[in-house]
Amino acid sequence: MSKTAVGLFENPGVADQVVHDLNAGDFPRREIRLLREPLDMALTGVTSIPHTDFEVGLDRELQAIGASEGEANAYVQEVRRGGVLVFATGSNVEVDNAAEIMNRHGAIKVEELIGREPSGNRMMGQSLPLSRDANTPPAHDATQTGRIRQSGDGVRMFVW
């Protein structure tokens, strides 16, 4: 199971500095990903709309690792506006250190972009079932995936 810290930054220079600091802290380079909207996107087919394809793919990827629909949409919209996402995947200790670095550089709090999501009784790190019959109780699995909230910080942690 992987754990990933995701930080959103308005300024591409700040995101580059985050990556530099992660590398300087011995975070494995192959586990760091910096994502900004590509300036030059080639067509992938007759009906391809490159920016839409990019945004739909990013939205799917974010939801696959546990972002809510609202969070994924907020991330996509900010990347469209020139924001940059930094992903750091690794062990619990590595990812916690990466989150600290990202937060120190002012990772954007997604709640400020989308408003507060309903909290319900969902536990940190617990995923909701994709779909189920109203009469079927939720399955209990020893493996918990999804978003891990850390109040007050802009970085989101995902276990997937």
Separation of alpha carbons 144 and 137, rounded Å: 17
Separation of alpha carbons 140 and 64, rounded Å: 19
Q: Looking at residue 160, what is its pLDDT?
A: 73
Q: Give yes or no for a contact between 71 and 156, defined as CB atoms under 8 angstroms apart.
A: yes
Separation of alpha carbons 138 and 123, rounded Å: 13
Instruction: Pick the more confident residue, 114 or 71.
Output: 71
8-state DSSP, 135: T
What token pair was written down for 25? 């802290």
pLDDT in tens, 131-144: 333 443 433 333 34
Arithmetic mean of pLDDT, 87-101: 94
Separation of alpha carbons 43 and 29, rounded Å: 30
Q: Looking at residue 138, what is its pLDDT?
A: 37
Arithmetic mean of pLDDT, 99-120: 78
Confidence of residue 47 (pLDDT cuts 50, 70, 90): low
| Four-CA torsion 117, 120, 122, 127, nearest 10 degrees | -60
Q: Give yes or no for a contact between 108 and 154, defined as CB atoms under 8 angstroms apart.
A: yes
Mean pLDDT of the chain: 77
Q: Residue type for 45, please?
A: G
